[in-house]
Chains A and B, each alone.
Chain A
Amino acid sequence: EPEVTQTPSHQVTQMGQEVILRCVPISNHLYFYWYRQILGQKVEFLVSFYNNEISEKSEIFDDQFSVERPDGSNFTLKIRSTKLEDSAMYFCAATAGGPADTQYFGPGTRLTVL
């Protein structure tokens, strides 16, 4: 069964550094999402992406964050200047489309900002 994959599984970075988290969605999926989960807290929506543009973003998704689909397969989340509070598990999700469609989640990238 096709899966959503994410790399790296764990990233450690210094505060102020840029990080890029990568996701490879299932090939026929059209809608893409990033969520994050701070340790011990609930999963929070960051951004949705469709047709090469952002569909919706949360208050968390400020100017330090950006997303793109550079080559038609990878879907990336960039944090330009990381803060301590960006430490979290970041999940990519994808769906073929339609409001009732299942979102398939990747295994996540654990980001640790020191």
Chain B
Amino acid sequence: AQSVTQLGSHVSVSEGALVLLRCNYSSSVPPYLFWYVQYPNQGLQLLLKYTSAATLVKGINGFEAEFKKSETSFHLTKPSAHMSDAAEYFCAVSDRSFQKLVFGTGTRLLVSP
């Protein structure tokens, strides 16, 4: 069975600082991995996804993530945080059968001026 662990329920950064949100996965098959963002009172929006092509994946809003099989990780980064990045971020893994997504517990990103 697939699972995802997100370290840190809250991450605080200053505007302009590096953003690093951690995600480790467990999967019995080569995984498909996703990062979703949830702004207050909104649904989930896809940031980026890994589907076994390039291991460094670029997404929207300047975010990127690197798939590291040896570390079973798919950490999300952004070189310079913006106030508008404040949101909840969810890492998810797909089981590839009927695409059920298994989500992590989420990380709330707080950005201070």
Contacts and interface: CB of A to CB of B under 8 A. Distances in A.
B110 interface: no
Which of A35, A44, A103 has most B Cβ within 10 Å?
A103
B43 A48 contact: no
A103 B103 contact: no
Interface residues of B, number: 25
A81 interface: no
Contact of A31 (B45, B99, B106): B99
Interface string A42-74: 111100101000011000000000000000000
Given A41-B105, A42-B105, A43-B90, A101 B44 contact: no
Interface in A26-47: 31, 33, 35, 41-45
B54 to A, nearest CB: 13
B112 to A, nearest CB: 23
Interface in B10-68: 32, 34, 36, 42-46, 49, 51-52
Contacts of B104: 42
A41 to B, nearest CB: 7
Given A35-B101, A45-B100, A102-B46, 13 more contacts: A31-B99, A33-B100, A42-B106, A43-B92, A44-B103, A45-B102, A56-B98, A93-B44, A95-B99, A99-B94, A100-B32, A101-B99, A105-B43
Interface of B: 32, 34, 36, 42-46, 49, 51-52, 90, 92, 94, 96-106
Interface of A: 4, 31, 33, 35, 41-45, 48, 50, 55-56, 91, 93, 95, 99-108
